[in-house]
Structure 1
Amino acid sequence: MRKSFLRGVALVCGIVLTVQSGMAVPDQSDKRNRNQGPAVIRDAEIEGLLRIYSGPIFKAAGINSKAAKVVVIGDPSINAFVAGGQRIFVNAGLITRAPNPNTVIGVLAHESGHIAGGHLAKMNSAMAEASTNAIIGTIFGIAAMVGGAMAGSTTAARAGQGVIMGSQGAAQRSFLVYARAMESTADESAMRYLEATHQSAKGMLDLFRVLANESLASTTGADPYAYSHPMPFDRIRTLEATAQASQWYNRQDDAALMLRHKLAQAKLIGFLQPQQVFQKYPSSDNSLPARYARAIAFFRRGDLASAIPVIDSLTAEVPQDPYFWELKAQAYLENGKAAQGLPFIQKARAILPNNGLLQILNAQILLGTENPAMADQAITLLKQARMSEGQEPSIYKFMAQAYGAKNDIARAELATAEYAYATGDAKLAGEKAAVAMKYLKKGTPEWLRASDIASFSAKK
């Protein structure tokens, strides 16, 4: 399970939310972590599965699959939203609680409707027509409700509703009418995309029923005009007849895809909710997902002696699965035995040689051996990963380590500046860029990049 950071502003159907950076499994004894938001989860297996889920939907919606991206947030609640362009964010809880792939695909179809409909840009235009004070009230009020009412949180929903009702009422209600209309449009678009890809809308409806039941306490007697989404049960009734009329309504998910879905659930629970693993996956359960979850829980608590035999049973049964080999490599790495993990990440990469996240893990393991001779190989892998992973912060973090091992101070400082800039630490980025410029030859591409970072950081 690869982890990274997210900083900045997310547009949730046009509503602005600040997203804090944070680790997927923060140490709650550390005060710095207690105030951090959920992490963005980077994982080759889960991202690959989501590409399978979203690919046909993006095609049906006319969305460029190379430009669009599905991002997983390490939050156990059920939620999904479109943010800043063609990015769909889904909470880990949506995946772990979805009984089948079809449920997640239905949500992705709905969010794709927002992207295809250009709802973010339209929502921003609608907000611009309201007064500044009304916009502020809307931002904070609807943000609370989106994360509360639709995920079943009574307190958050009512708090959000209170903000809405206490601010500029007429402007807010006009804005919410617009928001509800876009949600209904996205639902209708989702139905078309599912029909076009010969998939059932049953999973989407079943999820709406779960959300409706969970939010029942917070929506009973509530003013439907004070919500950014249609009322849950009204939403279901609107879609139900169309969904059930489809010839694909009772279509079942492919067995192989269902297994991948269950493995993804096991991995997320193993990493994010380890306290639930042995209750949900008891030792009497010998399925692949159950063993997968238990192996993760074992090595995450430092019990490598119990984890490795379980992982070995997985690789023996399905040797062509790269993610089982990846897990074995990571288990050794996280327990201070990087050199022992090296053959296994190489096995994973032999199956998926061009996967950027596996390249990053391979580089991390090479650096974890603390053998300076491995630094050049790690740098090569990180440069390859940059081609597919762009500005993934961990690339620069490990590059800094690799150049440090080579005693290449200039490039180590530049990589540290890149990492700091990518994670939003403008002060550190500027400081490190300035140091790098002292060592780099003036006018070279690397010196120019350091100069750009120093300049950009100074403006933040």
Structure 2
Amino acid sequence: MKRLFSLLAMVCLLAAVPARAQTVLQDAETTALFNDMMRPIIEAAGLDPKNVNIVILQDPEINAFVAGGQTVYVNSGLIEAADNANEVQGVIAHELGHIVGGHVPLGGRAMKSPTGITIASLLLGIAAVAAGAGEAGAGILSAGQRAAMGSYLAYSRTQEASADAAGARFLNKAGVSGKGMLEFFKKLQGMEYRLAIPQDNAYDQSHPLTGDRIAALTKTLESSPSWNKPESPGIEKRFERVQAKLEGYIEPLDDVLTQYPKTNTSIPALYARAYAYHRAGYPQEADAAAAALVKDDPNDPYFLELQGQIFLEAGHPQESLTALRKATQLSNYNPLIATTFGHALVSTDDPKNYAEAETVLKQAVARDDDNPFAWIQLGTIYTRQGDEVHAALAKAELSDITGDIPMAAVSAKRAMAGLPEGSRDWLRAQDILMVSQNAMRDKKH
């Protein structure tokens, strides 16, 4: 009977495999790059770039995926493994194929068939065990599970092939070379060879054989007028910077110094070392690398952001203000950069800076109201200024974002009690209260 329960658990795992927790990496420069390099491809897919989100996850696996909606998740490992921006464009074009094809919503429907096979074989197995034929029952169960898995994997391979073809079409229509897409597949194929993954039988794989994928895409991509079109030098240069700062932020200092030795004074190398030194606790070295970047281009908002961030996180908020104020202005008040600047103003503990902090943080949440840290800082400013009503509203916004439903309701009710009825802020508090109350009511049922 214990074996029976373990097999039943395997049936459940077929239908739902929970994803492990991953850290979302938010960076203004990286977001701007991905928006620019993917916009023509997203439009070619018939989607609105405003509705498509590309989220970077801190995960060493070379992977990208969609999980519903119009969000593409890209692992940091994929960005680090790519040789150029065009390879990443090819991978994301494939993921857009999944979105346009509705593969994620349809996936649950497709699972009904293989799961049904497994449950049917499970019932037959129970009958056989009950009749005393234990080995026969186990055999039926095993065969049923394999049939279920085979059915689902076949469906998955069909989806992947469809997404490949769609991604190739999007690249061609956008006038973007498909070389990166093919090169990345070849890179994956090389890894498969090294890992001794079979290249002659796709039955047990969720994707078509990589060699078959390359063969199926080559003619379509090579026949496009954009096949030999080079990547924009500006995009490639920006990608090298983003890739370097990502490696500096994630990888161990020794690895970063091996890849970007001190003798390398290029912008990507300085970027990588500045982040790596800062994260590893070498403030003087981090300051020097950041200063060299700012000296190279005093009006680059991302260099200034880094310099200010290093001062701020080293416990010198007052010294960070000049760089962060300029970075905020030059970036047209990018919400992520503005939030860092607002945090620096709050951290000075100087009441003279509170009015500016409130203005900056209100602008940040107006452009991105889904930023918990910005709401925390704005709530802190309101509290320090004695504005408990707006502090309560900020707490309601924060709780709504983070899923603390009871606190969202309590804070929204407290804010409504002190706000002019019918005002914009009162209506916003009312919205949060109503949504929270409905969520709590649904939870009870």
Match of 2:126 in 1: none
Amino acid at match of 1:53: M
Residue in structure 2 matching 1:228, options 199, 206, 217: 206
Larger helix share, 1 or 2? 2
Match of 1:175 among 127, 147, 152: 152
Q: CA RMSD in A?
A: 2.9
For 2:316 and 2:148, the matched residues in 1 are separated by: 60
Identify unmatched segments of 5+ residues in structure 1.
1-14, 21-36, 136-163
User: What residue number does 1:196 align with?
Assistant: 173
**Which of 337, 340, 343 matches 2:316?**
337
User: What is residue 69 of structure 1 aligned with on the other side?
Assistant: 53
Take 1:396 and 1:374, find their aligned partners in 2: how far apart are those partners? 17
Question: Residues 363 and 128 of structure 1: is their aligned pair in 2 closer, same or farther, counting only changes over 3 Å?
Answer: farther
Relative contact order, higher structure (CA 8 A, sep 6+): 1
Query: 1:308 Cα shift?
Result: 2.1
- Alignment of structure 1 residues 228-307 onto 2, 5 Å: 228-275=206-253, 276-307=255-286
Residue 119 in structure 1 maps to residue 103 in structure 2: yes
Q: 1:399-410 to 2 correspondence within 5 Å?
A: 399-410=378-389
Q: Residue 453 and residue 433 in structure 1: after superposition, are their counterparts in 2 closer, same or farther (change >3 A)?
A: farther
- Whole-angstrom CA distance in 2 between matches of 1:299 and 1:366: 21
Q: 1:247 to 1:442 in 2, by over 3 A?
A: closer
| Correspondence for 2:290 | 311
Supply the distance in 1 between the matched residues of 2:160 and 2:142 (Cα, whole angstroms).
Answer: 21
Alignment partner, residue 211 of structure 1: 188
SS in 1 for 2:345: helix
Corresponding residue for residue 186 of structure 1: 163
Does 2:425 align with 1:448? no
Q: Does 1:381 align with 2:365?
A: no
CA distance in 2, matches of 1:367, 1:197: 45
1:82 to 66, 79, 83: 66
1: CA distance, partners of 2:18 / 2:360:
33
The alpha-carbon deviation at position 439 of structure 1 amounts to: 6.2
Normalised TM-score (structure 1): 0.79
Hey, what does 2:401 align to over in structure 1?
422
For these two proteins, the number of residue pairs brought into alignment is 402
In structure 2, what is the equivalent of residue 161 of structure 1? none
Q: What amino acid maps onto 2:218 in structure 1?
A: E
1:385-410 Cα shifts (integer Å, max 9, x gaps): 22332322222222222222223334
1:399-433: CA deviation from partner (whole Å, max 9, x where unpaired): 22222222333433442343233223445545655
Q: Which runs of 5+ in 2 are unaligned?
A: 1-14, 120-140
What is aligned with 2:24? 40
Q: Against the structure 1 CA distance between its residues 452 and 186, is the aligned structure 2 distance closer, same or farther, given a 3 Å change threshold?
A: same
Report the 3-state secondary structure (helix = DSSP H, G, I; strand = E; otherwise coil) of the residue aligned with 1:72. Answer: strand
Query: SS at the partner of 1:224?
Result: coil
- 1:130 to 1:380, Cα distance in 2 relative to 1, 3 A: farther
Contact between 1:418 and 1:429, CA under 8 Å: does it hold in 2?
Answer: yes
- Paired letter, 1:295: A
What is the one-letter code of the residue matched to 1:111? E
Note the C-alpha offset of 1:198.
2.4
Q: Offset of 1:313 from its aligned partner? A: 1.6
Specify the alignment match of 2:93 in structure 1.
109
Match among 323, 330, 336 for residue 302 of structure 2: 323
Q: Rg bigger for which structure? A: 2
**Is 1:437–1:450's contact at 8 Å kept on the other side of the alignment?**
no
